[in-house]
Structure 1
Amino acid sequence: MAPKVHAALYSTAAMRAFATLHEKNVEFEVVPIDMRAGEHKKEPFLSLNPFGKVPAFEDGDLKLFESRAITAYVAYEYHGKGTELVYHDTKKMATVSVWIEVEAHHFDPVVSKLVTEQLVKPMLRGLEPDSAVVEENQKKLGEVLDVYEARLSKSKYLGGDEFTLADLHHLPAIHYMMGTSTKKVFETRPHVSAWAKDILARPAWIKTVAMQKQA
């Protein structure tokens, strides 16, 4: 049976899982979750993720939640299919793991606030973005991306010279930010800008975005 991803198609966390499955050429089923109706806060979804957040994932008798745990499982379980996404050399993988942590603890908290202000509030709630919050977090994001700029001046991708989960985990937020004023924070850093364009053009990511248009 194909793995199942219980999710809303527009969720950044869910899009990480979709992109990983596409990179690995793994067929999967999406079980739609209507977050506006609060389905993620009710049974049967809570039996899959007791924290009430998407995505939740099933592969046979295995049930997982937390998007980065799902992407790691897919990358290792389907070793030999599609893009490797992880290294089996421990020193190389240690470097990838550092940048996976950087994305989770330095990049994502800042950019999530920008996604909320610039996209979620106006599109889903009919509210104006708080310009002070946007400005503050664009400055914070710039400080994070200065570190990325230095790293990407030395290697093509964050974890080395090959595309890995360290890069993939950034895709949903970067994709959304390209439609906002935060785009300039990426574009003013040449190595970051080139890296973002490269990963956004990957066929697996294009397939992930297309899922929203087909829904």
Structure 2
Amino acid sequence: MVFKLYGLPMSTNTTRAMICLHEKEVDFELVPVNVFAAEHKQPPFLSKNPFGFIPVLEDGDLTLFESRAITAYVAEKFKETEPDLIRHKDAKEAALVKVWTEVESHYYEPAVSPIIYEYFVAPFQGKEPDKSVIDTNVEKLKTVLDVYEAKLSSTKYLAGDFYSLADLSHVSETHYLMQTPCASMINELPHVKAWWEDISSRPAFNKVVGGMSFGQNH
């Protein structure tokens, strides 16, 4: 049975799930959800995710929401298919994948997401970007990226010398960040830059990047 993924290809959370599905070469149907018409807040969608956010994954009678939970499920279900995104054969490596996936969720994404919103979503909605919000989160992101630079000076990827969910979780939001003036924050850190060039060149990401556009240039 083909998976159904409800979301939008411009959404960082939807594309996080899409990249994981492509990494595992899993067939899926992308079912568009018109968030601009608040379709995600209507009863049909709320029956799938009562919190009213995309994406949602359906695998037969199983319905999942939260993009990181979806990627963890896909990586576990297809763990024997390369790449092993969760390092299921090595408990220490698996633990490090979880650590750095948590870092992305609790430190990286909270700094990057407001920057993306101000540069992309606000203009899309006819608003001016709030420079104070951008500046505040740039400072937060600098702290995070300094940690990443130190970590990536000793390993090729965040959890070790292997690509994992920890890296995959960063791809969508960093793609948008790199289209803003804040791209210099990545480019000025040699190990972070090399890491980004590596993870953004993977075929799975290339399959989704074409849909990641708000129709704007920055």
Q: TM-score under structure 1 normalisation?
A: 0.96
Partner Cα separation in structure 2 for residue 211 and residue 148 of structure 1 = 28
Unaligned 5+ residue runs, structure 1?
none
- Percent of counterpart pairs with the same letter? 50
What one-letter code is carried by the residue in structure 2 that aligns with 1:113? Answer: P
Whether contact under 8 Å (1:55, 1:66) holds in the other structure is yes
Partner Cα separation in structure 2 for residue 134 and residue 7 of structure 1 = 26
Partner Cα separation in structure 1 for residue 66 and residue 162 of structure 2 = 24
SS in 2 for 1:64: strand
Which residue of 1 is the match for residue 216 of structure 2?
Answer: none
> What is the CA deviation profile of residues 42-96 of structure 1, one whole-angstrom value per residue up to 9, with x for unaligned ones?
1211111000000011011111000000000000101222421111111111111
Which residue of 2 is the match for residue 133 of structure 1?
Answer: 133
Partner Cα separation in structure 1 for residue 85 and residue 30 of structure 2 = 22
> What is the CA deviation profile of residues 3-61 of structure 1, one whole-angstrom value per residue up to 9, with x for unaligned ones?
11010111111110000000000010011100001100012111110000000110111
Which residue of 1 is the match for residue 106 of structure 2?
Answer: 105
Which residue of 1 is the match for residue 17 of structure 2?
Answer: 17
What are the within-5 Å matches in structure 2 for residues 21-170 of structure 1? 21-88=21-88, 89-122=90-123, 124-170=124-170
Cα drift, residue 134 of structure 1:
1.1
Which residue of 1 is the match for residue 190 of structure 2?
Answer: 190
Partner Cα separation in structure 2 for residue 175 and residue 87 of structure 1 = 25
SS in 1 for 2:133: helix
Whether contact under 8 Å (2:7, 2:31) holds in the other structure is yes
Q: How many residues align?
A: 212
> What is the CA deviation profile of residues 148-194 of structure 1, one whole-angstrom value per residue up to 9, with x for unaligned ones?
00000010000111100000000011000111011011111110011
- Higher mean C-alpha displacement, 204-213 vs 177-186: 204-213
SS in 1 for 2:135: helix
Cα drift, residue 211 of structure 1:
4.2
Whether contact under 8 Å (1:6, 1:55) holds in the other structure is yes
Quick one: structure 1 residues 72 and 90, their matched pair in 2 at CA, closer, same or farther if it must change by over 3 Å? same
- Higher mean C-alpha displacement, 82-91 vs 146-155: 82-91
Partner Cα separation in structure 1 for residue 136 and residue 210 of structure 2 = 32
Partner Cα separation in structure 1 for residue 32 and residue 112 of structure 2 = 25
Unaligned 5+ residue runs, structure 2?
214-218
Cα drift, residue 210 of structure 1:
2.8
Q: TM-score under structure 2 normalisation?
A: 0.95
Partner Cα separation in structure 2 for residue 50 and residue 83 of structure 1 = 32
Partner Cα separation in structure 1 for residue 120 and residue 190 of structure 2 = 25
Measured on the aligned residues, the alpha-carbon RMSD in Å equals 1.1
SS in 1 for 2:35: coil
